Amino acid sequence: MTMKSFFLLVLGFGVLLAGAHANEQSELTRRAKIDALIAEMTLEEKAGQLTQFSDPGDITGPAPSGSRDKKKRKLIKSGVVGSVLNVVGVENVRVLQKIAVEESRLGIPMVFAYDVIHGQKTMFPIPLAEAASWDLDLIEHSARIASIEASAQGINWTFAPMIDVSREPRWGRVMEGAGEDPFLGAEIAVARVRGFQGEDLSAHDTIASTLKHFAGYGFVESGKEYNRADVGTITLHNIILPPFRAGLERANARTVMNSFNTLNGVPATGDRYLQRDLLKGEWGFDGVIVSDWGSGIEMIEHGFAEDERDAARLAILGGSDMDMESFIYAPKLPSLVRDGVINEALLDDAVRRVLNLKFDLGLFEDPYRYIDAVREETQLFTAEHRAAARKIAQDSVVLLKNEGSLLPLSGTESIALIGALADDKDTPLGNWRARAVRNSAISVREGFEAAGIDFDFERGARLEIGEATFGSEIAINVTDKSGFEEAVTAAKNADKVVIVLGEDALQSGEGRSRAEIGFPGVQQELLELVYDANPNTVLVVMSGRPLTLTWADENVPAIVQAWHLGHEAGHAITDVLTGAVNPSGKLPMTFPRSVGQVPIYYNFLNTGRPDPNQPVFWAHYTDEENAPLYPFGYGLSYTAFKYSNLRTRKRDDGVEVSVRVKNVGDRAGAEVVQLYVHDQVASISRPERELKGFQKLTLDAGESSTLTFMLTKKELGFYNARGDFVFEPGVFDVFVGGSSAAKLNKEIRVHFALD
Ligand code: BGC
């Protein structure tokens, strides 16, 4: 059947449905159209709609073999490809879409997917950094711009946001998420999905969003990539799943991606409980579940599937609708149906979801809607987008330490700028840099130059050897210290030192787990020598994860956490160092003192022996403190905020909490006011503290404001081991302050029933 005859068929259905009315065509329901199409499809075409290939334009997983690549275009023509990822540029999208629409039997348009994680052409801070801004409007705006740019390049589906809660700084993918907290993670998930999908998904500049990875990927054992995750039900429902629920319930994310890991022994791609019972069942998700890259076929390595056919069977039974790069659905599903092993209705349901997505995106109305060479010419990397990237980069910086007021820089001192990363135009782009041009970020050195700062630059030492690429292992310089002497001399001759150390962009991200999370290579040695030469040292840390900064914290007077901040990194860092911008970022992940403390996080359950006054037999390390180096929610400002007047008031639907916050310093600044709750006694042990509210406010010097929060059943309840949400009356502690270590607190008794 051709596209034309398909529409005649659909028209026929419309006439049937709408009876004698005049405008029957426009009355056609989407369901009737989809049913008509499904009725017309062969088993091969159905399996094809459930198949997603990667284009060789960009490779984001284990490279597929050449022969498969050649076959792909032929397969599109045969109508057995539903979606392609990694197609680069509008013209390439047009070529492939034209084959699908004009040359395949049913002419069903394809969806074009890409990992637009922190920008398409204009790079924004990595998501972990953006999370440090705690600014939901800015985060939504950054996703909005990414979606405008991606759609201007023909993309209509992003595999973002990654919302895996993680307590594992060893795991490289923490750079891609919002950190360790489910509450903050849920708010950010909603903001990002709204940014990508906008008000109207069928508009040419909005794209479908994916909540990933479902589920438990952030809990990979020992932080090792692709490892197993063993997670109890309490943690699953209270920590891992809330951002997914929020992204679906509050922002209607249209797709979800499953994950590489096994969760409690079952590969997520074949997990019926997660995908069928919970996501599609209890939560009523009607969108598409896409597999992760090859995660279907990897079920063989997991020892869960016997062979490819078995993997296809288990994946479709498990609820995984679309197969990305496993190449098992198209060849295996038709015969599984013919042999009576699986029911065709399973395929129909999955196909219906995929076709629905295509309708949502407006592709049935106009398959070329997202293909616009003029937009590609004019809407990428614009001054406006770069200004937005600079703003959120500024707000993502976290001031970790500032003793003796070394910062902000006075503008009159001489400065030695040291470190390879200070001159690096590539690393700030971050790991998932989509279509960003290599080496196109503003370096710190360039930021200093643009601000007219008087400085000498010395690299000190190279960070990596050779070129780092997405698909190859990075080689770190562990021997070459030839630039140390010049760096030390420069430090001696300057009033202050700004030293920029940390990780290359390609040391975090997928496949980039690290067992040690200090400064890689010879950087720590350089830091110690430079500090000895001039103790007036400001350390700027660029990294995709929390690093162990213990030595630095004990010695260096000023430390700035600058992540990988995107294209405008150099300007944003300079803005903060000079005081043009007062830092306001707060850590979305705990910074450990040493790797031995990991996993370390603020919302832990108490032990039965927490008392430090006991000798030996209490919960502690003999060689390390229990406390982290910097707690979740922590971050300083060039001004200071005082919290007072914590009041609680009973309301019909809960408890109102109010607090007065005053800027007691001498300059304007922004503060993230955080509210934590502790349920003293419950039917399960509850975390010592849980974030249940936050507000970011800006106050002039001397200005104060009273903020209110509501604690309802939603904030005071929890999920039990069966995954049911329960509220248990009782006594709760409320803490309010500028970090998870906030001291101001009040006890509340909630004995009335809350609805
Ligand atoms: C990653 C996904 C990503 C996919 C497609 C996988 O390796 O785990 O997050 O969306 O590749 O690039």
- Report the CATH number that the domain containing residue 655 is assigned in CATH: 2.60.40.10
pLDDT band at 87 (very low <50, low <70, confident <90, very high): very high
Q: Which residues pair with 698 in a beta bridge?
A: 670
Q: Can you spell out the DSSP letters for 592-628?
A: PSSGGG-S--SSPBP-S---TTSSSSSS--SSS-SS-
Whether 90 and 216 share a structural domain: yes
pLDDT band at 58 (very low <50, low <70, confident <90, very high): confident
Say if 276 falls within a structural domain.
yes
Whether 161 and 274 share a structural domain: yes
Q: Find the 260 Cα to ligand 1 centroid distance in Å.
A: 9
pLDDT band at 723 (very low <50, low <70, confident <90, very high): very high
pLDDT at 15 over 50: no
Whether 368 and 456 share a structural domain: no
Q: Could you report the per-residue pLDDT of 626-674, keeping only the tens digit for each?
A: 999 999 999 999 999 999 999 999 998 999 999 999 999 999 999 999 9
pLDDT band at 69 (very low <50, low <70, confident <90, very high): low
Of 53, 55, 60, 211, best ligand 1 pocket probe by most atoms within 8 Å of the beta carbon: 60
Say if 618 falls within a structural domain.
no
The predicted structure's pLDDT at residue 65:
55
Q: List residues near ligand 1 (CB under 6 A).
A: 60-61, 85, 115, 159, 212, 292-293, 510
SS3 687: strand
The predicted structure's pLDDT at residue 685:
97
Q: Is 198 left (phi over 0), alpha (psi -120 to 50) or beta?
A: left
Q: How many domains does the structure of the chain reveal?
A: 3
CB 119 within 8 A of CB 150: no
| Sheet containing 51-54: order of strands | 157-158, 111-114, 83-85, 51-54, 323-324
Say if 608 falls within a structural domain.
no
The structure tokens listed for 154 are 């023909």
Angle between helices 329-338 and 344-360 (to 10 degrees): 140
Instruction: For the beta carbon of residue 198, count every other beta carbon within 10 angstroms.
Output: 20
Whether 288 and 419 share a structural domain: no
Q: Could you report the per-residue pLDDT of 555-593, keeping only the tens digit for each?
A: 999 999 999 999 999 999 999 999 999 999 999 999 999
Q: Could you report the per-residue pLDDT of 575-584, keeping only the tens digit for each?
A: 999 999 999 9
pLDDT band at 755 (very low <50, low <70, confident <90, very high): low
Per cent of the chain over pLDDT 90 is 92
Q: Could you report the per-residue pLDDT of 92-122, keeping only the tens digit for each?
A: 999 999 999 999 999 999 999 999 999 999 9
454 as an active site residue: the answer is no
pLDDT band at 28 (very low <50, low <70, confident <90, very high): low
The predicted structure's pLDDT at residue 64:
59
Q: Find the 14 Cα to ligand 1 centroid distance in Å.
A: 40
How much is the CA Rg of the chain, to the nearest whole Å? Answer: 27
Alpha carbon nearest to ligand 1 atom 2, residue: 292
Q: Could you report the per-residue pLDDT of 669-683, keeping only the tens digit for each?
A: 999 999 999 999 999
The predicted structure's pLDDT at residue 57:
85
Q: Are strands 157-158 and 111-114 parallel, antiparallel or unpaired?
A: parallel
Please name which of 118, 688, 208, 217 lies closest in space to residue 430, comparing C-alpha atoms. Answer: 118
The pLDDT of 723-729, averaged and rounded, is 96
Say if 126 falls within a structural domain.
yes
Whether 330 and 349 share a structural domain: yes
Cα separation, 276 vs 270, whole angstroms: 10
Of 123 and 61, the structure prediction assigns the larger pLDDT to 123
The pLDDT of 177-184, averaged and rounded, is 98
pLDDT band at 62 (very low <50, low <70, confident <90, very high): confident
Say if 603 falls within a structural domain.
no
First-to-last C-alpha distance (Å) of the chain: 55
pLDDT at 73 over 60: yes
Amino acid at 733: D
Q: Could you report the per-residue pLDDT of 499-517, keeping only the tens digit for each?
A: 999 999 999 999 999 999 9
Per DSSP, 126 falls in state P
Of 84, 114, 115, best ligand 1 pocket probe by most atoms within 8 Å of the beta carbon: 115
Q: Could you report the per-residue pLDDT of 344-372, keeping only the tens digit for each?
A: 999 999 999 999 999 999 999 999 999 99
pLDDT at 12 over 60: no
Q: Could you report the per-residue pLDDT of 369-387, keeping only the tens digit for each?
A: 999 999 999 999 999 999 9
Cα separation, 123 vs 117, whole angstroms: 9
Q: Are strands 690-699 and 669-679 parallel, antiparallel or unpaired?
A: antiparallel
The predicted structure's pLDDT at residue 61:
86
Cα separation, 229 vs 296, whole angstroms: 17
The predicted structure's pLDDT at residue 8:
42
Domain boundary among 377, 412, 436: 377
Per cent of the chain over pLDDT 70 is 95
Residue with the two structure tokens 């993918």: 173
Domain boundary among 352, 377, 402: 377
Per DSSP, 159 falls in state -
Say if 478 falls within a structural domain.
yes
Alpha carbon nearest to ligand 1 atom 4, residue: 293
Say if 612 falls within a structural domain.
no
292, 372, 426, 679: the active-site residue: 292
Specify the pTM: 0.96
The predicted structure's pLDDT at residue 467:
85
Q: Find the 39 Cα to ligand 1 centroid distance in Å.
A: 32
Whether 393 and 503 share a structural domain: yes
Domain boundary among 377, 410, 432: 377
CATH code where residue 34 lies: 3.20.20.300
Please name which of 696, 683, 731 lies closest in space to residue 711, comparing C-alpha atoms. Answer: 731
Whether 329 and 403 share a structural domain: no
Whether 560 and 703 share a structural domain: no
pLDDT at 75 over 70: yes
Q: Output the average pLDDT for the chain.
A: 95
Cα separation, 314 vs 507, whole angstroms: 34
Cα separation, 264 vs 228, whole angstroms: 8
Distance of alpha carbon 89 from the chain centroid: 24
Alpha carbon nearest to ligand 1 atom 10, residue: 159
| List of residues 6+ apart from 602 with CB closer than 8 A | 180, 181, 590, 628, 631, 632, 633, 688, 689, 740
The structure tokens listed for 31 are 């369901």
pLDDT at 338 over 90: yes
| List of residues 6+ apart from 284 with CB closer than 8 A | none
Q: Find the 156 Cα to ligand 1 centroid distance in Å.
A: 16
Of 29 and 681, the structure prediction assigns the larger pLDDT to 681
SS3 448: helix
Whether 482 and 402 share a structural domain: yes
| Sheet containing 745-750: order of strands | 690-699, 669-679, 730-737, 745-750
SS3 106: coil
Whether 264 and 152 share a structural domain: yes
Exposed / middle / buried, residue 220 (Cβ in 10 Å: 0-12, 13-18, 19+): buried
Whether 495 and 580 share a structural domain: yes
Whether 328 and 395 share a structural domain: no
Please name which of 150, 83, 157 lies closest in space to residue 379, comparing C-alpha atoms. Answer: 150
Cα separation, 245 vs 176, whole angstroms: 19
Least confident span in 51-60, 160-169, 176-185, 320-329:
51-60
Instruction: Calculate the CA dihedral of residues 357, 363, 365, 368 and round it to 10 degrees.
Output: 170
Please name which of 465, 389, 455 lies closest in space to residue 422, comparing C-alpha atoms. Answer: 455
Ligand 1 atom nearest the C-alpha of 217 is 8
Cα separation, 346 vs 336, whole angstroms: 11
Burial letters 115-129, b for 16+ CB under 10 A, else e? bbbbbbbbbbbbbbb
The predicted structure's pLDDT at residue 1:
46
Ligand 1 atom nearest the C-alpha of 210 is 10
Say if 31 falls within a structural domain.
yes
Alpha carbon nearest to ligand 1 atom 8, residue: 292
The pLDDT of 524-528, averaged and rounded, is 98
- Measure the CA angle with vertex 427, ends 426 and 433; round to 5°: 75
Burial letters 277-296, b for 16+ CB under 10 A, else e? ebbbeeeebebbbbbbbbbb
The predicted structure's pLDDT at residue 285:
98
CATH code where residue 540 lies: 3.40.50.1700
Q: Structural domain of residue 669, as residue ranges? A: 641-750
pLDDT at 27 over 70: no
Q: How far is CA 594 from CA 98, 497, 546, 586, in A?
A: 55, 26, 11, 20
Alpha carbon nearest to ligand 1 atom 11, residue: 293
Please name which of 499, 510, 605, 638 lies closest in space to residue 555, comparing C-alpha atoms. Answer: 499
The predicted structure's pLDDT at residue 60:
84
pLDDT at 24 over 70: no
The pLDDT of 215-237, averaged and rounded, is 98
Q: Could you report the per-residue pLDDT of 459-473, keeping only the tens digit for each?
A: 999 999 988 888 899
